[in-house]
Amino acid sequence: MTGLKPARGFLSAVFFGLLASGASAQTGGVEYKPEVGQEGKDVVWVPTPQSMVEKMLDMARVTPKDFVMDLGSGDGRTVITAAKRGARALGVEYNPEMVELSRRNAAKEGVTDRAQFVKADLFETDLSKASVITMFLLPDINLKLRPAILNLRPGTRVVSNSFTMGEWRADRTEQVKEDCTTYCTALLWIVPAKAGGVWQVGEGELTIKQEFQMITGTLAAGGADTPIKGRLRGERITFTAGKSQYTGRVTGDTIVEGVVKTAGNHAKWTATRK
């Protein structure tokens, strides 16, 4: 849980830059060590247990194909762990001392080619390149970030240590019981496609009301309006209408790869948003 205060002036920045380059041994300086509970810009710093880091990355199914962004990256442990899994990872941290500490830690672990760290404000950071976002922030900060997260590419995975995103309910929640005594709940969200609106489905009309990943509405066909209920998981849409189950993929203003199952029969369907 990070987002810490900036260094105290130019001389402090120079001093810690010397530490990062290995000059501390020559000058007799003491390497910076963060303290649990130290104040930050938005929250205090509390490190995530390594068992939680592993669980969060497991839930997000991080692979070498991913670009992971850790918001409030602290001492860099989540970014470094992601990099060890082969992913490219970027830590966003407000405290320059923590940024330099993270860079040293990444160098010790031999992952500087995949683990990068920047000193930046969370609310001024472009998140659009991330396929996975991890964070250990407070609920009010999560809520402030939520609009930007919901505008990310559908399918982006977001994992939070312990804290929620208000009415946007997590797609999955898991507890960590080993080597974790506090803040041991991992929550996963999958950014849903934007499916709300009225869609033309053959000769019928599909009206979708979307609330985050959950959808309701009606399917009007053959002179009857049938209620629908379902959900989104990234681009994938699934809903039931009467005894039929519909699946498909939302891409912009079209739904493609649609399959409807009714009493053991399968048929294809597509839709175009009006």
Q: Report how far Cα 168 is from the mean position of its chain's Cα atoms.
A: 13
Residue 247: in which H helix or E strand, if any?
strand 244-251
* Residue 14 banded pLDDT, cuts 50, 70, 90: very low
Average per-residue pLDDT for the chain: 88
Q: Is 51 helix (H, G, I), strand (E, B) or coil?
A: helix
Higher local confidence (pLDDT), 237 or 29? 237
Q: Are residues 22 and 141 in the same domain?
A: yes
End position of a domain, from candidates 173, 190, 207? 190
| Domain that residue 140 falls in | 9-190
- Per-residue HEC secondary structure of 108-142 comes to HCCCCCCEEEEECCHHHCCCCCCCEEEECCCHHHH
* Domain assignment of residue 4, yes or no: no
pLDDT of 95 strictly over 90 = yes
Are 75 and 40 contacting, i.e. CB atoms less than 8 angstroms apart? no
Neighbouring residues of 65: CB distance < 8 A, sequence distance ≥ 6: 87, 131
Q: Supply the CATH number for residue 94's domain.
A: 3.40.50.150
* Residue 34 banded pLDDT, cuts 50, 70, 90: low
When divided into structural domains, the chain yields a total of 2
* Distance (Å, whole) CA 21 – CA 104: 9
pLDDT for 184-219, tens place per residue?
Answer: 999 999 999 999 999 999 999 999 999 999 999 999
* Domain assignment of residue 2, yes or no: no
First to last CA, the chain: 44
Angle between helices 77-84 and 50-59 (to 10 degrees): 50
Are 71 and 152 contacting, i.e. CB atoms less than 8 angstroms apart? no
Are 91 and 111 contacting, i.e. CB atoms less than 8 angstroms apart? no
* Domain assignment of residue 183, yes or no: yes
Q: Supply the CATH number for residue 202's domain.
A: 2.40.128.30
What local confidence, expressed as pLDDT, does residue 1 receive? 58
* Distance (Å, whole) CA 66 – CA 63: 6
Question: β-strand 172-175 against 185-190: which pairing, if any?
Answer: antiparallel
